[in-house]
């Protein structure tokens, strides 16, 4: 597609080395094709730093834009027009000139346990003492160490296929923890041996949601992808991202959330943990997001809330969701969250 032809042939970019990334991008492009049958979409594949570094825990690499930098470079150079991400991979502050133009309807955000074939039918509580459970997430490890002190938790890296292969073909792990959404998108729901409820394990900010990143000033593309916004998912994820941003969290510290939207009320539970889970703070707050959509064109038309531009979701509701996240984080900070997270960050750096 030539740049002049851009509007007739938008180019979508994905992270190449992941089969999951292809499936996610295909699902977004398929939704766009249904909405815009006269447009032809071209999919471009590219590898990212996060895809290439498979022997180090994500929390140790220290690069905030691990899965996004190369993709955003292509977007900036006009080589592509939109980039499909897992929302949980996107930092809460995007580089200037970019915005999240769509947040698609969220898949199940919970974490799932996949067991070694010999442990089929078991749950984490039924695994023998000292069983090794693999996870690449400090957040999961911190919560589950506290809940299941009889188990050992170790880093496991690689894409979904690689991690499942490590589990099935070796005896190193009794089980591994993965996002249920990724397993479902890959068609591997049958491998889920246990879904972890929010009581067992709060999930990551944005987990289960797909985001479409675009150039902030590209109105044609922004208008096109905005039709993919799911209002409930947008409001939940704005609250979660605002919570994370206020805490200055990331993959190098254990921060976790759970959100629910019911009868116009948005409920946000947020927590911070020490690396071993022994120290933690957890609170829940709620706010009303029951506001009508205003059809006012004005200078704040394209206002961003923690990197998300959603013109078709009531602006007052977005503000309320963002304020909820900020207020909940401020409450935790007033109770000592900064100390817990700074100690966790320091310990992670020295591991």
| 51: confidence class by pLDDT, cuts 50, 70, 90 | very low
Q: State the pLDDT at residue 121.
A: 94
Tell me the per-residue pLDDT of 233-257, one tens digit each, with 9 for 90 and over.
999 999 999 999 999 877 678 999 9
What Rg, from alpha-carbon coordinates, does the chain have?
A: 20
Query: Taking a C-beta distance cutoff of 8 angstroms, is the pair 245, 93 a contact?
Result: yes
Annotated catalytic sites, by residue? 89
6-20, 21-35, 296-310: segment of lowest average pLDDT: 6-20
Cβ partners under 8 Å of residue 287, min gap 6:
265, 266, 320, 321, 323, 324
Query: Is 261 a residue whose pLDDT tops 80?
Result: yes
C-alpha dihedral (102, 225, 85, 195), degrees to nearest 10: 60
With 70 as the cut, is the pLDDT of residue 137 above it? yes
Q: What is the mean pLDDT of residues 279-288?
A: 98
Does residue 157 surpass a pLDDT of 60?
yes
- Does residue 8 contact residue 60 with C-beta atoms inside 8 Å? no
pLDDT at 65 over 70: no
Contacts for 79 with CB less than 8 Å, ≥ 6 apart: 11, 13, 44
Which of 240, 295, 294 shows the shortest CA–CA distance to 269? Answer: 240
What confidence score (pLDDT) does residue 19 get?
86
What 3-state class would DSSP assign to 344? helix
Cut 0.85: pTM above it: yes
Q: What share of the chain is helix, strand, coil (3-state, %, to 5)?
A: 40, 20, 40
What local confidence, expressed as pLDDT, does residue 7 receive?
A: 55
The C-alpha atoms of residue 273 and residue 254 are separated, in whole angstroms, by 5
What per-residue confidence (pLDDT) applies to 159? 85
Residue 9 predicted with pLDDT over 80: no
179, 111 in Cβ contact below 8 A?
Answer: yes
Averaged pLDDT for residues 130-155? 96
- DSSP code per residue over 164-184: HHHHHHSSS-SEEEEEHHHHH
Q: Give the mean pLDDT of 200-219.
A: 97
Q: What percent of the chain has pLDDT over 90?
A: 75
Mean pLDDT rounded to a whole number for the chain: 89
């Amino acid at each position: 597609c030539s740049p002049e032809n851009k509007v007739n042939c938008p180019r979508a970019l994905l992270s190449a080395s992941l089969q999951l990334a292809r499936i996610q991008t295909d699902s977004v492009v398929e939704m766009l094709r249904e909405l815009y049958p006269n447009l032809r979409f071209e999919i471009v594949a590219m590898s990212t730093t996060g895809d290439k570094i498979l022997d180090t825990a994500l929390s140790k690499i220290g690069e905030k834009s691990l899965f996004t930098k190369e993709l955003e470079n292509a977007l900036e150079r006009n080589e592509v027009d939109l980039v499909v991400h897992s929302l949980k991979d996107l930092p809460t502050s995007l580089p200037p000139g970019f915005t999240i133009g769509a947040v698609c309807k969220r898949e199940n955000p919970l974490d799932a346990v996949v067991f070694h074939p010999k442990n089929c039918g078991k749950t984490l509580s039924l695994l023998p003492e000292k069983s090794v459970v693999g996870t690449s997430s400090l957040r999961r490890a911190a919560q589950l160490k506290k809940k299941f002190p009889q188990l050992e938790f170790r880093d496991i890296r690689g894409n979904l296929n690689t991690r499942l292969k490590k589990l099935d073909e070796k005896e190193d792990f009794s089980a591994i923890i993965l996002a249920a959404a990724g397993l479902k998108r890959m068609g591997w729901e049958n491998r889920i041996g246990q879904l972890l409820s929010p009581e067992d394990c709060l999930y990551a900010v944005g987990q289960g949601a797909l985001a479409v990143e675009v150039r902030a000033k590209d109105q044609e593309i922004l208008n096109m992808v905005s039709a993919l916004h799911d209002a409930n998912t947008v409001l939940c994820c704005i609250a979660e991202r605002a919570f994370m941003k206020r805490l200055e969290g990331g993959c190098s510290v254990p921060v976790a959330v759970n959100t629910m939207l019911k009868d116009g009320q948005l409920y946000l539970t947020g927590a911070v943990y020490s690396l071993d889970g022994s120290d933690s703070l957890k609170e829940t707050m709620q706010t009303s997001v029951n506001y009508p959509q205003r059809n006012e064109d004005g200078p704040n038309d394209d206002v961003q809330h923690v990197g998300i531009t959603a013109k078709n979701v009531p602006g007052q509701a977005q503000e309320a969701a963002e304020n909820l996240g900020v207020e909940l984080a401020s409450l935790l900070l007033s109770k000592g969250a900064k100390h817990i997270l700074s100690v966790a960050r320091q310990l992670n750096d020295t591991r």
